[in-house]
C-alpha cells in the first residue's frame, strides 16, 4: 500500500526507551531532520525515513527535492539543524563520517571520485585506510576485493584517471568494498554511464542485496531503482511525500515521473 507521509503514525519505529536495539529500530534511520546549506535556506524539512536491515530502500523525487542532501546528512557530511540519525537505534547524529565508516557505513558518491593520478591499487588502499598500518589486514582486504572483482586485479597498476567512466565506477565500488560495509548509501549510481555498464552496476547492487547488506539508493533511474527496491520513499520540496512497498509503486511510475516533470 502506498501512503502519504501525513498518514504514517508519528513515532513509528522509535528506539526503545532503554536504548537497546529492538527489531523495530534496526537499520539506519533519519528522524524529523531539518537541514540546509545556508542559514536562510531549508533543503530538508522534517524528513523521516528508515533503511531496514538487509533491504533495498529507494529514495526518489524530482530534481532538487533534497535526495542527495539526505544521503549527506545520513553519512555525516552535513549536520542537520534538528532531528536525529540513528544506526540500529543508537544516535549517531554528530558522529563524523570516518567513525560512521568504522560502524560499517559507506557512501558511494555520485559522479567521478577516483583519484586520477593514483593507480587502481592505490585508490583501493584509500578505501582501507581504516585498517591503518595493519598491512596484513589491508592486503587481505585487497585480495578479497580482487577476488570479487577480478578486473580490478588486472588493472591494479594502471592510473585510475586513464580508465573509462564505467571502469572508474568499478574502482569506486571496489574502494567502497575494501571496508566490507554492511550499510551502503548509493547516490545516482548510473549517471553518465553507457547502458551496458548501467546494467552491470544494478547487477552489483542486486548482489549487495543478496548478501543482506542494507542499501539506501537515491536514483534518477526510477524504473531500475524500483525494480530493486523493497521499500520506496519520495520527497517533494524537501518533505516526505509518498512511501510504500515496491508493489505499490510499480503501476504508478509513469504518473509519478510525469508529475515530477512539472517541477
Ligand atoms: N553543496 C551545496 N551547497 C549549496 N546548496 C546545495 C548544495 N547541494 C545541493 N544544494 C541545493 O540543495 C537543494 C537540493 O539539492 P539535492 O542535490 O539534495 O537534491 P536532489 O533531489 O538530489 O536533486 P538531483 O536529483 O537534481 O540531484 C537544491 O536546491 C540544491 O541547489
Q: Are strands 231-236 and 239-245 parallel, antiparallel or unpaired?
A: antiparallel
Q: Are 122 and 35 members of one domain?
A: no
Query: Does one domain contain both 81 and 197?
Result: yes
Is 55 within the bounds of a domain? Answer: yes
- For the Cβ of 51 lying below 6 angstroms from any atom of ligand 1, the answer is no
The response to whether residue 238 sits with its C-beta less than 6 Å from ligand 1 reads: no
Q: Are residues 100 and 193 in the same domain?
A: yes
For the CA of 70, the closest atom of ligand 1 is 18
Contact 54, 215 (CB under 8 A): no
51 and 166 share a domain? Answer: no
Q: Is residue 18 part of a domain?
A: no
Taken in order 99, 105, 110, 113, is the CA torsion positive or negative? Answer: positive
Residue 196 vs residue 81, higher pLDDT: 81
208: CB partners within 8 A, 6+ apart: 184, 215
Query: What is residue 9's predicted lDDT score, i.e. its pLDDT?
Result: 55
Query: Does residue 174 share a domain with residue 213?
Result: no
The domain boundary, picked from 180, 199, 216, lies at 180
Asked if the structure places residue 31 within a domain, the reply is yes
Which pLDDT score, from 0 to 100, does residue 59 have? Answer: 97
Domain end among 152, 180, 208: 180
Note whether 80 and 202 are same-domain residues. yes
Residue 67: CB within 6 Å of ligand 1? yes
Q: In this structure, are 93 and 219 located in the same domain?
A: yes
Residues 168 and 192 occupy one common structural domain: no
pLDDT tens-digit series, residues 100-131: 999 999 999 987 899 999 999 999 999 887 77
Q: What is the pLDDT of residues 148-178, one digit of tens each?
A: 999 999 999 999 999 999 999 999 999 999 9
Write out the E strands in the chain: 3-4, 28-35, 44-51, 56-60, 82-87, 90-91, 105-108, 183-187, 214-218, 231-236, 239-245
- Asked if the structure places residue 231 within a domain, the reply is yes
- Assess if residue 77 is contained within a domain: yes
With a 6 Å cutoff on the Cβ, whether 72 touches ligand 1 is no
Enumerate helices (H) and strands (E) in the chain, giving the number of each.
10, 11
Q: Across all residues in the chain, what is the average pLDDT?
A: 89
Cβ–ligand 1 distance for 63 under 6 Å, the answer yes
Domain that holds residue 129: 113-180
- How far, in Å, is the centroid of ligand 1 from the Cα of 70? 10
65 in contact with ligand 1, CB cutoff 6 A: yes
Whether residues 59 and 131 fall in one domain: no
CA of 97 to the centre of ligand 1 (A): 19
Are residues 173 and 186 both part of a single domain?
Answer: no
Q: For the residues 5-23, what does the mean pLDDT come to?
A: 52
**Which of 33, 67, 110, 225 to mutate for ligand 1's pocket (most ligand atoms within 8 Å of CB)?**
67
Please say if the pLDDT value at position 18 is more than 50: no
Residue 2 lies in a domain: no
Query: pTM here?
Result: 0.90
For ligand 1, is residue 213 a contact (CB within 6 Å)? no
* Ligand 1 atom nearest to CA at 235: 21
Structurally, the chain folds into a number of domains equal to 2
ipTM of model? 0.95
Same domain assignment for residues 174 and 54: no
Amino acid at each position: 500500500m502506498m501512503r502519504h507521509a501525513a498518514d504514517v503514525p508519528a513515532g513509528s519505529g522509535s528506539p526503545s526507551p532503554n536504548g537497546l536495539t529492538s527489531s523495530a529500530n534496526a537499520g539506519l534511520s533519519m528522524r524529523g531532520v531539518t537541514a540546509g546549506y545556508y542559514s536562510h535556506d531549508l533543503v530538508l524539512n522534517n524528513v523521516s525515513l528508515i533503511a531496514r536491515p538487509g533491504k533495498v530502500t529507494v529514495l526518489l523525487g524530482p530534481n532538487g527535492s533534497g535526495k542527495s542532501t539526505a544521503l549527506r546528512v545520513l553519512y555525516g557530511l552535513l549536520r542537520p539543524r534538528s532531528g536525529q540519525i540513528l544506526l540500529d537505534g543508537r544516535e549517531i547524529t554528530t558522529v563524523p563520517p570516518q567513525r560512521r565508516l568504522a560502524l560499517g557505513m559507506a557512501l558511494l558518491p555520485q559522479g567521478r571520485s577516483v583519484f586520477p593520478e593514483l593507480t587502481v591499487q592505490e585508490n583501493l588502499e584509500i578505501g582501507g585506510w581504516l585498517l591503518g598500518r595493519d598491512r596484513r589486514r589491508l592486503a587481505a582486504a585487497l585480495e578479497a576485493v580482487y577476488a570479487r572483482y577480478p578486473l580490478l586485479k588486472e588493472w591494479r597498476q594502471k592510473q585510475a584517471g586513464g580508465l573509462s567512466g564505467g571502469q572508474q565506477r568499478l574502482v569506486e565500488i571496489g574502494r567502497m568494498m575494501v571496508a566490507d560495509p554492511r550499510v551502503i548509501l548509493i547516490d545516482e549510481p548510473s549517471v553518465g554511464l553507457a547502458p551496458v555498464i548501467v546494467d552491470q552496476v544494478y547487477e552489483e547492487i542486486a548482489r549487495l542485496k543478496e548478501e543482506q547488506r542494507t542499501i539506501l539508493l537515491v536514483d534518477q533511474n526510477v524504473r531500475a531503482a524500483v525494480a530493486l527496491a523493497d521499500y520506496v520513499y519520495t520527497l517533494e520540496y524537501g518533505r516526505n511525500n509518498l512511501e510504500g512497498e515496491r508493489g505499490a509503486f510499480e503501476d504508478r511510475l509513469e504518473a509519478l515521473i510525469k508529475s515530477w516533470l512539472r517541477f
